[in-house]
Structure 1
Amino acid sequence: MRHIGTFRGKVAIITGGAGGIGEATVKKLLFEKAKIVVFDLLQGKWQDYSDDVYEMKVDISNRREVEDAVNCVFKKFNRIDILINCAGILKDHLIDDMLDDEWDTVIDVNLKGSFNCCKAVTPFMKRQQQGKMILISSVAALGAKGRVNYAAAKAGIQGLTKSLAIELGPHGIHVNAVAPGYIETQMSKVSEADAHKRGIDNFNQMKEAILNRNPIRRIGKPEDVANVIEFLATEKSDYVTGQIIYVSGSPSN
């Protein structure tokens, strides 16, 4: 049977699509026949993968770069249906040792970057009177030792999500966020390497504690998050907006 594809004819911008949750999301939407433009500083990941993936080198913390890239996407496809903000960065430290640059970079990429992308696509989605924006928060938004910068950025994304949902809902634009728990990605490997900066002496012990608190009794995979993102990008979520969906395998987070 021929696979029609949920997103056939749709155009999606996915930031941070070269790895982790972003990579898994690109694959999900590609299977459903979307045209995808990946904004990432890392290039070449999708070069030989599919003719329906286009890569653009974009620093999402730079408003002008984002605006120029979004304009290019619209000129090429004459539509932008979906924005998925997966790009993120960690620079962990306890507050006594956190540098201004570590604070600024994490806020600029995670929070300002999401704002820049949402702002840039808004005029095009308003013109279409439809669109889906999916942002990535984190359980860290509820508080995380050694991550005051990351926690603040991810909490800000939740406020950004709810505010945009109120503003843009009358224009047919849905805005939601996904808040993952511990997910096995390259970023989690960075977290492990820098665990001492968070005052964590035994990372494996901490990981085991997370596992023991989890009723599902496993660590999350990028595909677990991508599945929820995919749902939020479809018409099946048309009565869902301004929501923060925790993907952590746990009801308590």
Structure 2
Amino acid sequence: MAFNVAERVVFVTGAASGIGAGIAEVFAREGATVIAADLSAEGLDAEIRRVRALNLTGTVHAAPLDVTDAAAVERALDAAAAEFGGIDAVINSAGIFIDIDPYDINTDAVRKVMEVNYFGTLNVCRAATKHLISRRGSIVNLATGGLDRPLPAQLAYVASKAAVVELTRSLALALGRDGVRANVVAPGYIDTPMIRRNHTLPSGELSTEWEEQLETYRSYSPLHMVGQPEDVAWLIVYLVSDEAKFVTGQTFRPNGGFVVPR
């Protein structure tokens, strides 16, 4: 194993698809006990069955959950800690994206994005803190490459993720004395349903323009690559492992060189 997370108990939100699903699978491959949480019970069930069919060394368990429901989040984390003996890490991947017209801002849509992306992350971190302190655990929150190169229609999405970054920095400073680390991962273009959504036909097939769009995404990377969920997941495995014991309060950018900040 590259980094030892075997026997760790890891709570992953947004685990029914995309990056969250990739995180859950990679941790299970590495021998962790994964509690996979998502609003979509149907999608979560399908993903759990897919991962279990791989006969991995770790285990994965479904936790249907609305991260905007603070009481439900607390119950879910308390139940997971009671069943599996504690929580070693929480990874907040749950999020939504709604295009917002800067010339006609839909404030209800902005609130919805903030409720899921920021307050959902806050709810999980708040409910997990007591469990993480007892295990000197780790928080990893997902942001976006849009922090560095936002698009006009992302004004709510990027703002919510910028808030997540500052939340994480504050948690790193506050919880470090108890041995809890908190970091951010801000991916670039990753091949997930989120970036495919505008190119997916009602039949579920991809439009003829998808390959052209994919090539555009590749052109943003000096490596000429679009990432896969596991490219993000392996970085998170490192951040949760003891090998990252000196790493907290940082924002990591697995983006293929989409941006190269100083």
TM-score of the pair, normalised by structure 2: 0.85
- Cα separation, 2, equivalents of 1:203 and 1:17: 24
Pair 1:191–1:63, CA change in 2 (3 A): farther
Taking only the aligned residue pairs, the percentage that are identical comes to: 30
**1:63 and 2:70 matched:** yes
* Structure 1 residues 192-243: Cα deviation after superposition (integer angstroms, max 9, x where no partner): 56xxxxxxxx987765444323110111111111111111111111111001
**1:6 and 2:4 matched:** yes
Corresponding residue of 2:19: 21
Match among 22, 25, 32 for residue 34 of structure 1: 32
Question: Which SS does the other structure have where 1:163 is aligned?
Answer: helix
What is the correspondence of 1:176-195 to structure 2 with a 5 Å cutoff? 176-192=183-199
Amino acid corresponding to residue 25 of structure 1 in structure 2: I
Amino acid corresponding to residue 137 of structure 2 in structure 1: G
Question: Which SS does the other structure have where 1:146 is aligned?
Answer: helix
TM-score of the pair, normalised by structure 1: 0.88
Number of residue pairs aligned between Structure 1 and Structure 2: 243
Pair 1:91–1:172, CA change in 2 (3 A): same
Conservation of the 8 A alpha-carbon contact between 2:33 and 2:59:
yes
**1:54 and 2:52 matched:** no
- Cα separation, 2, equivalents of 1:4 and 1:180: 21
- Cα separation, 2, equivalents of 1:48 and 1:146: 34
- State the 1:20 CA deviation: 0.6
- Cα separation, 2, equivalents of 1:146 and 1:209: 18
Amino acid corresponding to residue 259 of structure 2 in structure 1: S
Match among 130, 142, 151 for residue 136 of structure 1: 142
Pair 1:184–1:251, CA change in 2 (3 A): closer
Structure 1 gaps, min length 5 = 194-201
Question: Which SS does the other structure have where 2:31 is aligned?
Answer: coil
Q: What is the Cα-based RMSD across aligned positions, in Å?
A: 2.3
* Structure 1 residues 39-61: Cα deviation after superposition (integer angstroms, max 9, x where no partner): 10122120464382111111001
- State the 1:6 CA deviation: 2.4
Corresponding residue of 1:223: 230
Pair 1:180–1:191, CA change in 2 (3 A): farther
- Cα separation, 1, equivalents of 2:21 and 2:181: 22
Question: Which SS does the other structure have where 1:46 is aligned?
Answer: helix
Amino acid corresponding to residue 189 of structure 2 in structure 1: Y
Corresponding residue of 1:148: 155
Corresponding residue of 1:164: 171
Conservation of the 8 A alpha-carbon contact between 1:90 and 1:191:
no
- Cα separation, 2, equivalents of 1:205 and 1:53: 36
Match among 60, 71, 81 for residue 74 of structure 1: 81
- State the 1:146 CA deviation: 0.5
Amino acid corresponding to residue 180 of structure 1 in structure 2: P
